[in-house]
Structure 1
Amino acid sequence: MDQQHPQDPAAAKLTAHLRELARTGAPCLSVGRLADLVDRGETWVERHLKKLQDAGVLVIERRANGGRRMRVDGAWTDWTGGWKSGRKKKAGPPPIPNATVEKARRHLMSRDHVIVGAGPGAFNVNGKVRTTEELLAMANRSLQAMGRPPLVSP
């Protein structure tokens, strides 16, 4: 494959790096990390990997959990951790129940706040994006100012 694109140093660098990973048995890098390595976009890296596969230089094996490894010139890289087994969930407060979020949203809307959903766990409140926790804190402050109990203890 390198012979087809001798003028592209990024392609040569990526191919050489993949060969080195396989030779040492190191874990396969993500497409984003490979893109950073060669100062190209992820789409370019994916296309180059596809070209290497079509040329028979590279074989990519995938697991159901997102793990991946590559065979380059007969040598395999190690498996990536995958998204299920490789990352541990951070310990933190439990998520706020949807019913509580809805009560907070309705209360603030009754107080003339304009609230629009802005994606998972985010709301646009009066033109400013706020998290679910911030929305709940706003509602609790408003309720306490009215002499009513908060929706959830902070």
Structure 2
Amino acid sequence: MKRLTGKQLAELLGVSPSTVSNVLNGRYDRVSDATKKRVWDAVEEHGITHLRDRDQRKIREKRSLVFIALSDHANEWFLGNLQGIADVCRKRNYILSQVLFPVWDPDYFRFVLSTLDFCGALVISTMNHPITDLLKTFRVPYVMIDSYDDDTKYNTVH
């Protein structure tokens, strides 16, 4: 079977090749959330592993994590564990950026995701918070901290 190119994927989806390129190269600020989802869904649906693998390689090469907390979860437990998380990141040569959201603002969060260049996120929030949908849309690997649900498909630490 012949491998589908980025240009062919663009034709299939009815978008420009530059749109597909922007999505595959993480330039998410130039593409709507719906289009990002369509492109990544098509990559998965058509088994376009060479395009998906390129994305995974970019993630592996990055050495920066983002730690996200919503203000209603910033308590003593959170502050006590943040030092331990920072120590582990430093020992493994990761840069830890901390982002605190005093009020949930999806537009600002989209801006943060499209601006920062990081390989994953540690999130303190409730399981069904809209933050998880945006992380999935931007294809950010994440772990929910201090959250637990038997039916979840998320990675969690409790």
In the superposition, the TM-score normalised over structure 2's length comes to 0.27
- Higher normalized helix content (fraction of residues): 2
Structure with the larger RCO, 1 or 2 (CA within 8 Å, 6+ apart): 2
Larger Rg: 1
In the superposition, the TM-score normalised over structure 1's length comes to 0.28
